[in-house]
Structure 1
Amino acid sequence: MLLTWLYVPGDRPDRFAKALASGADAVIVDLEDAVSAGHKAYARDAVAEFLAGPHPVPVQVRINDLTAAESAADLAMLTQVSGVGGVRLPKVESAEQVTAVAAAVDAPLHCLIESAQGVEAAYAIATAHPAVASIGLGEADLRSDLGAGDDTALLWPRGRVVVAARAARLPSPAMSVYANVSDLDGLAASCRAGRDMGFVGRAAIHPRQLPVIVEAFRPGPDEVDRAQTLLAALDAAQLRDQGTAVLADGRFADRAMVDAARRTIELAGRFGS
């Protein structure tokens, strides 16, 4: 289970090794927003060379908007290289877009929903193809599309994406990037709010954001104790693999609670508590 993803511009190969060593669980090399129009071809070549080498963490590639001509060149490059840990698809609005990419590239697909149309199609996108590994929001573009002045307008889209991901049996979505790299207190508060909504982990645009994200999302000692107690009680009653169970102390446990407890233990094992 991953908690942090660090974006790095595809036309800055001098930053690739630093991104790998940043402590992020995965690195996303960006061919889209972080690369100017005149640097697209250079970025593709730099990313292709980078992908050929060994990596200590998964490396994903965010390609250009699927409606833009550059995306075809991005996909062509990805078919010629190994070492692709996943492909990030920006501005996805339909299942058909996902299936077209899945036919072209053999890699896990991570779909970013960045428009009202995409939000409406969230479940269809999440279930479009077995290659879909996650869905999430691109909140900067979504704010623009909605004409939203603050986060209030994003509450429903955030909830929609969380529900769509879980209904499709995908991992809980990660949060979108927090654009102010100096406001670590604001990042922490935003992460806590996202965690309460069902998000797990967050993408970052600067290494200094990574420890804040981990601290916000890793389970606390009380959460770990509750999870361990629940799983131990189920094991004692030989009920862990049943759909629902009533424990000896009268507590009710269902499959969702058991899955959540397992996720808590897994996160605690990786990131501490």
Structure 2
Amino acid sequence: MRPIPLTWLYVPGDRPDVVAKALVAGADAVVVDLEDAVAPARKEYARAATAELLAAPRPGPGPALHVRVNALGTPLSDADLRAIAPLPGLAGLRLPKVTSPDDVIRAAEQAAPHDGGAPALHALLETALGIERAHAIATAHPALRGLSIGEADLRADLGVRDDAGLDWARSRVIVAARAASLPAPHQSVYPDTRDTAGLAASCAHGRALGFLGRAAIHPRQLPVIERAYLPTPEEIEQAESVLKAAASQEGAQALPDGRFIDRAVVAEARRTLALAEGGR
């Protein structure tokens, strides 16, 4: 598995055949969905099938397995957390529609196995209230390891008609995650699975904002996301030149091509090369 995940493939929990295909599709992480992708009549079956998957040993390293539980504070999510959280194959729990730090704290307490702490939690912010409280949510509990936006629900909540109308909310969540020393958030799903050109353009915009990686709903989206977020050969070459110059002289300096480098530029160069190495 890549040290820095770039691709997160969502699959419905009531379709074990689809989950099996997702596990070999090349994603860094597979998110088994017990919430929106599962009809009410199939919820119990989805939970049982997912628990069976997480309890069984898997050959080879494979992608990390995450589970998105049902809406917090409901009997469905309570049952999800009891059944899923203690299982050995679980890499993390994704919490939908988080609106307050208390949501995270309660989920962590429910998910904590009897002999240890809670598994890694990831909060999905999908309402205006969740966005407003982004930093408080990001610092709510040590088990919280990430934030991201659920853009379909947020778009509906805000009444946004144009994609650019979400950029402020996106930036707020990116800043909140960094301020809380969490990893850079990954982008929300791109709903048109056949529009790979639109997906690539959207990823380029997300990368410019500060996202790192993206959720997907179809395997054909994975290579597009990976190409968009992995450093280009030119970026790798520039990063290598920065580190070479930094090794020869301490402190801020100007390179022959006019670029100015200091500690922040060196840190970014190291991050670029780490991401490039993880993609090879």
Q: TM-score, normalised by structure 1?
A: 0.93
| Residue 9 (structure 1) aligned to one of 8, 12, 18 | 12
- Structural mapping, 1:247-262, within 5 Å: 247=253, 249=255, 251-255=260-264, 257-262=265-270
Distance in 1 of aligned mates of 2:73 and 2:266:
41
Aligned amino acid, residue 36 of structure 1: A
Query: Structure 1 pair 181/44, CA: closer, same or farther in 2 (3 Å)?
Result: same
What is the CA-CA distance between 1:67 and the residue it aligns to?
Answer: 3.4
Matched residue SS, 2:262 = strand
Distance in 2 of aligned mates of 1:137 and 1:172:
12
What is the CA-CA distance between 1:138 and the residue it aligns to?
Answer: 0.2
| Residue 131 (structure 1) aligned to one of 128, 143, 158 | 143
Q: Does 1:36 align with 2:48?
A: no
Deviations 1:63-112 (A, max 9, x none): 01113321101111124422110000110111111111122222111111
Distance in 2 of aligned mates of 1:121 and 1:221:
39
How big is the alpha-carbon RMSD for the aligned residues of Structure 1 and Structure 2?
A: 1.4
Matched residue SS, 1:149 = coil
Distance in 2 of aligned mates of 1:246 and 1:258:
10
Aligned amino acid, residue 55 of structure 2: A
Matched residue SS, 2:102 = helix
Aligned counterpart, 1:78: 84
Aligned amino acid, residue 4 of structure 1: T
Aligned counterpart, 1:190: 202
What is the CA-CA distance between 1:248 and the residue it aligns to?
Answer: 6.2
Which stretches in structure 2 are left out of the alignment for 5+ residues?
112-117
What is the CA-CA distance between 1:166 and the residue it aligns to?
Answer: 0.9
Moved over 6 A (4+): none
2:6·2:226 contact (CA, 8 Å) conserved in 1? yes
- Structural mapping, 1:166-205, within 5 Å: 166-205=178-217
Aligned counterpart, 1:19: 22
Distance in 2 of aligned mates of 1:260 and 1:96:
34
Deviations 1:121-143 (A, max 9, x none): 01111111111111010000000
2:7·2:216 contact (CA, 8 Å) conserved in 1? yes
Q: Does 1:155 align with 2:158?
A: no
Distance in 2 of aligned mates of 1:248 and 1:186:
38
Distance in 2 of aligned mates of 1:203 and 1:91:
16
Aligned amino acid, residue 273 of structure 2: I
Aligned counterpart, 1:242: none
Distance in 2 of aligned mates of 1:9 and 1:29:
6
Matched residue SS, 1:33 = coil
| Residue 120 (structure 1) aligned to one of 132, 152, 155 | 132
| Residue 246 (structure 1) aligned to one of 234, 241, 252 | 252
Q: Does 1:51 align with 2:54?
A: yes
